Amino acid sequence: MNLAVRDVRHNLARFSLTTVGIGMLLMIVMGMGGIYRGLIEDAVLLVNRIDADLWIVQHGTRGPFAEISRIPRSLEDRLLVVPGVQSARAFVSHTVQREHGGKPLRMVVNGLSWPQDDGSWLPLVAGRPLEAAHYEMIADKLLGLQLGETLELGKDVYRVVGLTQGMIGQGGDGLAFFTVPDALAIQFDSSAEAIRLERFARKARAVKDDIGKMQPMLMDKAELPSRELPAVPRAMISAVVVKAAPGRDPLEIAELISGWKDVSVHTSDEQKELLLKGTVDRARRQIGLFTALLVLISAIIMALIIYTLTLDKTRDIAMLKLMGARDSVILSLILQQAVLLGGLGYVLAYYFGQWIFPHFPRRVIIMHEDLLRLGMIVIAISVLSSLLGIWKAMKIQPNEVLS
Amino acid sequence: MTAASPAIEATGLTKVYGSGNTEVTAMRDVTLTIGKGEVVALLGPSGAGKSTLLTAIGLINPPTSGSIVIGGLPVMEGPEALVDVRGFRRRHIGYVFQKANLIPFLTALENVQLASEINDVPPREARSRALELLDYLGVGDRVKNLPHMLSGGQQQRVAVARALANSPSIVLADEPTAALDSVRGRQVMELFGKVAHEQGAGVLVVTHDHRALDVFDEILEMEDGTLRPPVRTTTHTEGSK
Ligand SMILES: Nc1ncnc2c1ncn2[C@@H]1O[C@H](COP(=O)(O)OP(=O)(O)O)[C@@H](O)[C@H]1O
Ligand SMILES: [Mg+2]
């Protein structure tokens, strides 16, 4: 005869409420794990999607995600002629926060090397890749933009021609894709007044400088737009991503490029590792500690619940002992209830989570291995938390029936 | 356990609670014998030590000194147990108290069945035995009810059925009818007589109810922790011995 189940059935309302409470607690534990997974997934999503073999960045830097990296765009052409390189694309990425429709709009602006790269590798859910050199953009659904909607960024207006889903930057902001020149224009957008002031400043510098006196022509040109000044360096990009030709070892190419003194090379895996170590590491430890605390709190709460359930049954347990029931009968009554409580709480946690997590602002990813691990933790908690109740039950004397 | 030996032989039982200033001698040098098939009443004022004696014999509350032999088997020597007391209780002793003390989350049937199941009787067998007993005790129509749905008398009869589930060699009852009206009380007392005479168990019943004393083979009286000589022995006892 199973005593645990019969007791639960008899105290169904109380047991159900307790289980719901435990379920919610476990849901939070589950959610913390999911938030952590989401954080990692979001952080490496772009690197994964770009699916490059090598990342070429400014010499001595850790790449475009960890810190600022500036390299000339001409590097793209230098890399294309390296043996074994199938493709080399400019990578431009920066986050902007602008106003749109009266609300702040945060997005990660990415540049595509149009026309070689029109963004057809993106997970488009609506619209099309980029078809023009300027003023088109592909936006992630998270940004809340509609197909065909126009958006003013800097001095230009861009039209949304394609929509992606699930393209999120490491900060949790949606990604938007433009051609490289457009992306740079958005990044280096200055007001007309700022440009005017810079031209005057430039002229003033030229007047004071030797070079201005030796080359009077320069004086005339100082007031021209930057791009018409031959001496001004070309626009800088963040990185160049390289894909090796089929059958070629990316590491061999990396070896070769690492001989260049002006750039550093990272493989895709290194890039991901840098990302995780740098930006996500603290968050991971924070979440890990918080989760550990939650597990501890769950264990304490469960222990108290099991203990109270046992206290409520003091008389019955005394009677069982008086009737000569073995300790195993009493032990399994308590243990089974604890495991039942934990197990049902776990199942509830899962369904609560399925229902609530999709509404979270950032991704909560519940992995099978995490579910499995939490399941084992729940069993461990159940067993540990029943120890207090079992200890109490073992101390109950049969003659307590008489009191 | 030999057939010839008495159900209960207690010799020189003494129980001292506490120590020093708070020392109370609840029972002093009590000696008694209850034969198989014998039902014995134990009378006495409150605080006389009746429950102390009953719980000592029931292996719930060890005496300070004295010995207890049940069915010919020495079980207690002073506070020392000579057998596995829990196992012994399970197999050989049935208890009934003033309160039925049924497990609240088990039905009448399950309460009785559990007593057999913890004594390793297969569930099916335990169940049919429980049904039989409950029927015999006149609560056969309430077997599916939880205790709180039963009247006090019905609960007490279920408790008696539970005490008898393993056909114990001794039955100990501590004021089992205190919470019942006189008709119900008498029914329960008659039941103990029936159990003793039909199953050959030794039955010891603590009671305050003087109206049902004719049921008993022997009446003992306790006062200030000591046992008075037997008041009455019916011819019934001689017949069944
Ligand atoms: N656990 C105990 N601790 C201390 N004194 C006790 C305890 N149980 C009983 N007593 C004392 O022992 C005496 C006998 O008690 P008890 O056997 O319960 O008497 P009865 O059942 O005849 O009323 C009483 O004076 C009571 O106060
Ligand atoms: Mg008493």
Distance from CA of A389 to the nearest CA of B (A): 19
Please tell me whether residues A163 and A177 are part of one structural domain: yes
Q: What confidence tier does B79 reach under pLDDT thresholds 50, 70, 90?
A: very high
Could B146 and A326 be called an inter-chain contact, meaning their C-beta atoms sit closer than 8 Å? no
What pLDDT does A51 receive? 84
Backbone angles phi, psi at B179, to 5 degrees: -95, 10
Question: A226 is in which domain, residue-wise?
Answer: 194-234
pLDDT value at position B237?
43
* Continuous H helices in A151-280: 180-187, 192-208, 210-214, 216-221, 250-257, 268-275
Q: A267 and A201 in one domain?
A: no
Tell me: do A7 and A102 sit in the same domain. no
Q: What is the pLDDT of residues B169-213, one digit of tens each?
A: 999 999 998 877 888 788 888 889 988 998 899 999 999 888 888
Alpha helices (H) along chain B = 50-57, 85-92, 108-117, 123-136, 152-164, 182-199, 235-240
State whether residue B33 sits within 8 Å of chain A by CB.
no
Q: Please tell me the predicted confidence (pLDDT) of residue B122.
A: 96
pLDDT at A225: 67
Residue type for position A295: V
Residue B144: predicted pLDDT = 96
pLDDT, position A200: 77
Whether pLDDT at B240 is above 70: no
Instruction: Give the DSSP H/E element, type plus range, for residue A33.
Output: helix A12-50
Same domain membership, residue A179 and residue A102 = yes
* C-alpha B204 – ligand 2 centre gap (Å): 13
Query: Do the beta carbons of residue B8 and residue B186 sit within 8 Å?
Result: no
3-class state of residue A271 by DSSP: helix
Q: Which residues are CB-contacts of A251 (< 8 A; sequence separation ≥ 6)?
A: A267
pLDDT band of B15, cuts 50, 70, 90: very high
Q: What letter would DSSP give residue A168?
A: B
| Pocket (CB within 6 angstroms of ligand 1) | B 17-18, 24, 26, 44, 46-52
- Mean pLDDT on B29-39: 94
Ligand closest in space to the Cα of B42: 1
Atom of ligand 1 nearest to the CA of B50: 22
- Closest-CA residue, ligand 1 atom 2, reads B17
Ligand 1 atom closest to Cα of B22?
4
Report the sign of the C-alpha dihedral through residues B184, B189, B192, B197, in that order.
negative
Which of B15, B50, B59, B86 is the mutation pick for testing A, counting most A CBs within 10 A?
B86
On chain B, the residues whose CB falls within 8 A of the CB of A321 are 86
CA distances from A115 to A234, A293, B35, B62 (A): 19, 52, 109, 96
Tokens at residue B123, please? 């569930």
Q: What is the pLDDT of residues B100-125, one digit of tens each?
A: 999 999 999 999 999 999 999 999 99
Domain regions of chain B by residue span: 8-239
| In a shared domain, residues A215 and A115 | no
Give me the sheet containing B24-34, strands edge to edge: B24-34, B8-17, B65-70, B73-77, B80-81
Structure confidence at residue B137 (pLDDT)? 84
The closest CB to that of B113, out of A1, A320, A322, belongs to: A1
Same domain, A198 and A132: no
Question: Is the same domain home to A219 and A239?
Answer: no
Residue B25 pLDDT more than 90?
A: yes
Q: pLDDT value at position B178?
A: 83
pLDDT of residue B209: 83
Q: What tens digit of pLDDT does each residue of A166-215 get?
A: 888 877 889 999 998 888 888 877 677 777 787 777 777 777 777 767 77
* Cβ proximity of B129 and B114 under 8 Å: no
Name the average pLDDT for chain B.
90
The total number of structural domains in chain A stands at 3
Give the model confidence (pLDDT) of A223-279 as tens digits.
776 655 554 445 678 899 999 999 889 999 999 988 888 899 999 888 888 888 876
* Sign of the CA dihedral with A259 first, then A257, A54, and A238 last: positive
**A295 and A160, same domain (yes or no):** no
Give per-residue pLDDT as tens, A270-290: 888 888 887 678 888 888 899
**Helix runs in B38-151, H state only:** 50-57, 85-92, 108-117, 123-136
Task: Check whether residue A391 and residue A314 sit in a common domain.
Answer: yes
Residues A198 and A143 in one domain: no
Q: Which residue's alpha carbon is at the smallest distance from atom 3 of ligand 1?
A: B17
Same domain, A139 and A76: yes
Q: What is the pTM of this model?
A: 0.78
Beta bridge partners of A85: A244
Determine the pLDDT at residue A234: 54
Within chain A, which residues score under 50 in pLDDT? 231-233
Torsion A385-A386-A389-A392 (CA) sign: negative
A31: Cα within 13 Å, side-chain hemisphere:
21
Helix, strand, coil proportions of chain A in percent (round to 5)?
55, 20, 25
Indicate if ipTM > 0.85.
yes
Mutate to test the interface with B, among A9, A319, A323 (most CBs of B within 10 A): A323
Contact, A377 vs A332, CB < 8 A? no
Is there a single domain that holds both residue A83 and residue A99?
yes
Of A9, A315, A329, the CB nearest to B118: A329
Q: Do A326 and B118 touch (CB under 8 A)?
A: yes
pLDDT attached to residue A361: 84
User: pLDDT grade, residue B238 (50/70/90)?
Assistant: very low
Count of CB atoms within 10 A of residue B92's CB? 23
The answer to whether B156 and B188 have CB atoms below 8 angstroms apart is yes
CATH number of B8-239: 3.40.50.300
Q: Are B11 and B31 in contact (CB under 8 A)?
A: yes
The whole-number pLDDT of residue A229 equals: 58
List, in sequence order, every beta strand (DSSP E) within A251-329: 263-267
Q: A170, A43 in Cβ contact below 8 A?
A: yes
